[in-house]
Structure 1
Amino acid sequence: MEIGPYKLSAPLLVAPMAGVTDRPFRTLCLRMGAGMAVSEMLSSNPRVWQSDKSRRRMDHEGETGIRSVQIAGSDPGLMAEAARVNVDQGAQIIDINMGCPAKKVNKKLAGSALLQYPELVRDIVSAVVAAVEVPVTLKIRTGWDPEHRNGVHIARIAEDCGIKALAVHGRTRACMYKGEAEYDTIRAIKQAVSIPVIANGDIGSPEQARFVLDYTGADAIMIGRAAQGRPWIFREIRHYLEQGTKPVPLPKDQEWAMIREHVAALHAFYGEVLGVRIARKHVGWYLQESDAGRDFRNDFNALDEPQQQLGALEQYFANIA
């Protein structure tokens, strides 16, 4: 799959997730086989760009892989400026967020709330495409509620305005993350446009990935929540798509080494105080399916020093071994 001049090494993308897909997590997913990882969402409001959170999200120093940065907002002019600023900071692809269902985003008429206003969609997309020379992509949902699935219409607008690839989550805004994703709309979108289409939603296994690609005809798939605590899912899916068989599971000691490495990278990226706090949720995801990990997670969440966290993980894995 290609997005402008960039050719992905695999038809597997890491979905942008605020508070999750930071640089340490993106780096890990790329190493595990993802073809591209999209950054956390950045607001188009310039008043927040100087916050520590925004500065970290706009920092791509030493970043591996194709640098795709997602921006969100409802003002075409501000979105265009945000695109220019992020390209100056190193973004190689700009992604527009029209898929986030979160209330705090939607109440500002951003994210998937924009799907109710196709002409505003056209204005935003046109402004961003005209503002930068790098490829611009778009992430949407199938519509704003089950009675108004206008994804095909939005997809045609996107293609007309110069969008280079379109990611579609198989739910409406009203559905949030409830129920099951539906792929019929994604299939209809793929048949309606000629730009690459990326299918997203409830893809948590190699078999489901193969099914979604075959059923929708999509050019690639995007993995979000299924990668939390399981970044090696990209290795599993990539092997299955390329070989038709599941790979030999990663040895447990390699998984454990990866978890410790991820936690250490979070400490280095965020600093000791914030890094420790953010590491807690990732370790919770890594160990969420382990009965033995339940008590450990409670103890781990009480630790407030980086070396305490790393030492506790070392001891926990040694006990399991």
Structure 2
Amino acid sequence: MVKIGKLELGEFPLLLAPMEDVSDPPFRAVCKQNGADLMYTEFISSEALIRDAAKSVQKLDVYDYERPVGIQIFGAEIESMREAAAIAEAAGPDILDINYGCPVHKVACKGAGAGILLDIDKMVSMTAEIVKRVNIPVTVKTRLGWSHDTIRIVEVAERLQDVGIQAISIHARTRQQMYKGEADWSYLNLVKDNPRLHIPVFGNGDIDSPEKAAEYKAKYNVDGMMIGRASIGYPWIFNEIKHFLATGEKLPIPDLNERIAVAKKHLDFSVEWKGEKQGILEMRRHYTNYFRGMPNFKTFRTEMVTAETYAQVAEILEQVAEAYADYEFQS
């Protein structure tokens, strides 16, 4: 049984990665219903939380139906991160996560996210202060290092454990790689082989099929996996991986009716969370992903991302169902 603090997550938990503009409550809801064991919010700026910025405060929304859930924060200043941690804890998550992995320029080059990998001592000090500030388990998501020449992930994981984190998720790329090239999970083996390390280690990067999940589970000895991009428009991946790990067999891929049903459920959650107007705007980045790869879909896609009412979107989905009634998705 994998545990984060007293939180039991099963034998080999699958985590939904925190993804900016993706991992909102409606998306987390459909991932939860399709097998995700632990979810994280989009990353939230510590400075914005302290300023009480409305958009960042709304990202603190967590719901009982998605538990266990963690709130993820990022920032470059230790005191701001301490204050933000307290604000996040008050929102009632099960876990507080620290983002030490975001590679985008506007974050990393200010010393936050993956930028802190250039100053491991500060990373450890910041983590220690946050652990002392809150009463819920603290976890970390990070990368292997800033660049290939600066990878110190075995040391980093041990030092973060020693100041109190209770799990670590490692994206097996450096900041320099961004999202390019192949994730190198061999470093996760080195982390797991450290006899002093006893916290769970979750692997992240390139898990996009049940077969790859099974291969990497056997090869790299991780305690679970965090899945990000592969779940966008395809929340079924969590249950597909679980089924394959348990039986060695693949579940049938979701057909058009199932995709429409989940896209509509996602839309319903979005409208319930933010109201019809904003909920539909938020969904524009999501629902066409459910129909990725379908031929001659451009007209429907355009209609979806310009529809302004719930009724319009529902009608478009009905038209998709009728137009592609005989279409079969390929695995």
Whether the aligned pair in 2 keeps the contact of 1:49 and 1:55 (CA below 8 Å) is no
Structure 1 residue 268 displacement after superposition: 2.2
Asked whether 1:271 is paired with 2:272, we answer: no
Equivalent position of 1:144 in the other structure: 146
What pairs with 1:231-310 in structure 2 (closer than 5 Å)? 231-310=235-314
SS in 2 for 1:91: coil
Residue-by-residue CA offset, 1:9-64 (whole Å, 9 max, x unaligned): 45100000011001111111111011111111111115665333222211224442
What pairs with 1:75-114 in structure 2 (closer than 5 Å)? 75-114=77-116
Equivalent position of 1:197 in the other structure: 201
SS in 2 for 1:95: strand
Equivalent position of 2:329 in the other structure: none
Equivalent position of 1:7 in the other structure: 8
Percent sequence identity over aligned pairs? 35
- Out of 221-230 and 299-308, give the one that drifted further: 299-308
Equivalent position of 1:317 in the other structure: 321
Q: How far apart, CA to CA, are the structure 2 residues paired with 1:288 and 1:46?
A: 34
When normalised by structure 2's length, the TM-score is: 0.93
Letter in 2 for 1:175: Q
- TM-aligned CA distance change 1:260 to 1:136, over 3 Å: same
Letter in 2 for 1:209: A
Structure 1 residue 199 displacement after superposition: 0.2
What pairs with 1:130-141 in structure 2 (closer than 5 Å)? 130-141=132-143
Residue-by-residue CA offset, 1:178-213 (whole Å, 9 max, x unaligned): 111111111111212221100000000001111111
SS in 1 for 2:230: helix
Structure 1 residue 173 displacement after superposition: 0.3
Equivalent position of 2:328 in the other structure: none
What pairs with 1:129-208 in structure 2 (closer than 5 Å)? 129-192=131-194, 193-208=197-212
Q: How far apart, CA to CA, are the structure 2 residues paired with 1:121 and 1:148?
A: 14
What pairs with 1:16-95 in structure 2 (closer than 5 Å)? 16-46=18-48, 50-95=52-97
Letter in 1 for 2:133: A
- Out of 231-240 and 304-313, give the one that drifted further: 304-313
Q: How far apart, CA to CA, are the structure 1 residues paired with 2:296 and 2:39?
A: 32
- Out of 215-224 and 270-279, give the one that drifted further: 270-279
Q: How far apart, CA to CA, are the structure 2 residues paired with 1:52 and 1:289?
A: 36
Give the aligned CA root-mean-square deviation in angstroms: 1.5
Q: How far apart, CA to CA, are the structure 2 residues paired with 1:222 and 1:197?
A: 10
Q: How far apart, CA to CA, are the structure 2 residues paired with 1:246 and 1:49?
A: 48
Q: How far apart, CA to CA, are the structure 2 residues paired with 1:314 and 1:279?
A: 17
Whether the aligned pair in 1 keeps the contact of 2:50 and 2:83 (CA below 8 Å) is no
Q: How far apart, CA to CA, are the structure 2 residues paired with 1:49 and 1:60?
A: 20
Residue-by-residue CA offset, 1:237-269 (whole Å, 9 max, x unaligned): 011112221123334322211111112221222
Letter in 2 for 1:157: R
Whether the aligned pair in 1 keeps the contact of 2:23 and 2:41 (CA below 8 Å) is yes
SS in 2 for 1:40: strand
SS in 2 for 1:115: helix
SS in 2 for 1:281: coil
- TM-aligned CA distance change 1:36 to 1:61, over 3 Å: closer
- Out of 195-204 and 290-299, give the one that drifted further: 290-299
- TM-aligned CA distance change 1:251 to 1:302, over 3 Å: closer
Q: How far apart, CA to CA, are the structure 2 residues paired with 1:33 and 1:128?
A: 30
Structure 1 residue 277 displacement after superposition: 2.1
Equivalent position of 1:228 in the other structure: 232
- Out of 120-129 and 5-14, give the one that drifted further: 5-14
Q: How far apart, CA to CA, are the structure 1 residues paired with 2:114 and 2:49?
A: 22
Structure 1 residue 278 displacement after superposition: 2.0
